[in-house]
Amino acid sequence: MSAGDVVIIAGGGANIASLQFALERLGANSQVSADPERIRNASHVILPGVGAAADAMSRLCQRNLDTLLPALKQPVLGICLGMQLLFEASEEGPANCLGIIPGLATRFAAAAGLPVPHMGWNTLSIDRPSALLEDISPGDYAYFVHSYALSTGAATIASSRYGEPFSACVQQGNFYGVQFHPERSAKVGARLLRNFLQL
Amino acid sequence: MRDGQVVKGVRFRDHRVVGDILDLAARYRDDGADELVFYDISASPEGRSVDRTWVSRVARTLDIPFCVAGGIRSIAEAEEVLAAGAEKISVNSPALENPSLIDDLSRRFGSQCVVVGIDSQNIGDTYLVQQFTGDVRRTRNTARSTLEWVREVQARGAGEIVLNCMASDGVRAGYDIVQLRAVRAICQVPLVASGGAGAFQHFAEVFQSAQVDAALAAGVFHSGEITIPDLRRELRVLGIEVRP
């Protein structure tokens, strides 16, 4: 395992501390940076995200990270909004995203008994095997907080259901994304982060 | 919380120290709590915002979501609390003073991390919002109807509402099902019931009869009278979906 050099991309997201603490509990140090050179040389890159897609994209574009990120070869993990940014676009804003994985993030339709945002613990289904999901089982719970989601598709490795099924975890090559918050998903989340660091 | 310790009162009075913040946070984490809420109850009455030094210590300890409340009056104060590792912030008295705070917070951080806490008291046949409930000498009735306020905070961008039914608080005779049902009927965002849990059956009842999204309890857990693993087991038997 060569997770000696984890870089969390700085983007004004407010919940970076909890992610860093989660990595710390796994014995991994991380640095928060928006410096292209630091990001390029990282062993693992994490794209977190809290806030709106358009804001987050404009911050990435200011640093030219919108061209750097799709070219990365090391494991990259997008979390929550960070996962949505890996796709082509989001209805939120609307915003053009990084375009690494085909798909559009759409807003959950509010329905009786299904308040938006989707907030809380929900179960995972495993759609296809991935090293990211090692020792994570169907029915395991993860903690979600989001109003927009990606429907299931070719990149989906785990899904969840809120009215309709949606992508809970995705993978395309070295790009991974999780819609839930592993840093706040107790043992299941810690396992997923450990799996990512071992990639 | 008050002065670095966890405290619990009865009907928002006579608070007693029940333990150290970090000890209790670790205990509830290990017991499998779904979420923890920290109220710095003396912050608003004392005109200050929540003490940040413990927020990051708690964030280091916890691997579950946690929400922090206490006199958060501005974007800058909210930012500090979130940067220290809190998942959500909850506003109560400051939102009553300045309702547009809810709009500002939800625009800046997204409604998913903006919780509005409402302390509600039965006055005659209506429900009224109370302010400064952390200090009994300063607690006062607002002229706001609870149901009106529930509508307004949603329109302003609240992502979750915690309804503290004050008459039930600390009494352990069950949640205020009637009031929670009335609020549920007009609440499209997640609704958390608070105040009155004393027995397994109370939790089951509030999920089944008031369709709340979550039930908050403090006293029965602090005293050890109900443990979270036992509660999960009981709820599962009653057919309520709970995390293993």
Tally helices (H) and strands (E) across chain B.
10, 11
Q: Write down the pLDDT at residue B16.
A: 79
Helix (H) or strand (E) holding B31: helix B21-31
Region A2-17: mean pLDDT is 77
Per residue of chain B (244 residues), what is the pLDDT tens digit? 777 788 877 777 778 777 888 999 999 999 999 999 998 877 777 777 777 788 889 999 999 999 998 889 999 999 889 888 898 999 998 999 999 999 999 988 888 889 999 999 988 889 999 888 777 777 777 889 999 999 999 999 999 999 999 999 888 999 999 999 999 999 998 999 999 999 999 999 999 999 999 999 998 999 899 999 999 999 999 999 999 8
Region A158-179: mean pLDDT is 97
A22 interfacial to chain B (CB closer than 8 Å)? yes
Q: What are the structural domains of chain B?
A: 5-237 (3.20.20.70)
Which residue on chain A is closest to B159 by alpha carbon? A117
The strand pairing partners of A178, in sequence order, are A79, A169
Active site residues of A: 80, 181, 183
* Closest by Cβ to A51, choosing from B34, B109, B211: B109
Cα gap B114→B88, rounded to integer Å: 6
Cα gap B139→B148, rounded to integer Å: 20
- Our CA angle for A119, A139, B32, nearest 5°, is 65
Contact flag B112-A183 (C-beta cutoff 8 Å):
no
Region A5-31: mean pLDDT is 87
Residue A23: pLDDT over 60? yes
Task: Read off the pLDDT of residues A44-76 as tens digits, 9 standing for 90 and up.
Answer: 999 997 677 888 899 899 999 999 999 999 999
Contact flag B63-A52 (C-beta cutoff 8 Å):
no
Specify the pairing of strand A175-178 against strand A164-172. Answer: antiparallel
Specify whether the CB–CB gap between B3 and B207 falls below 8 A: no
Length of chain A: 199
Contact flag B59-A18 (C-beta cutoff 8 Å):
yes
B32: chain A residues, CB-CB within 8 Å: 186
Closest alpha carbon to B28 in B16, B37, B40: B37
Residue A138: pLDDT over 70? yes
Cα gap B218→A198, rounded to integer Å: 39
* Closest by Cβ to A119, choosing from B32, B79, B160: B160
How many angstroms away from the CA of B138 is the closest CA of chain A? 33
Residue A14: pLDDT over 90? no
* Closest by Cβ to A50, choosing from B32, B85, B109: B109
Q: What are the structural domains of chain A?
A: 6-197 (3.40.50.880)
Specify the pTM.
0.89
Contact flag A50-B213 (C-beta cutoff 8 Å):
no
pLDDT-based confidence at A13, cuts 50/70/90?
Answer: low
**Cis before residue B45, ω within 30 degrees of 0?**
no
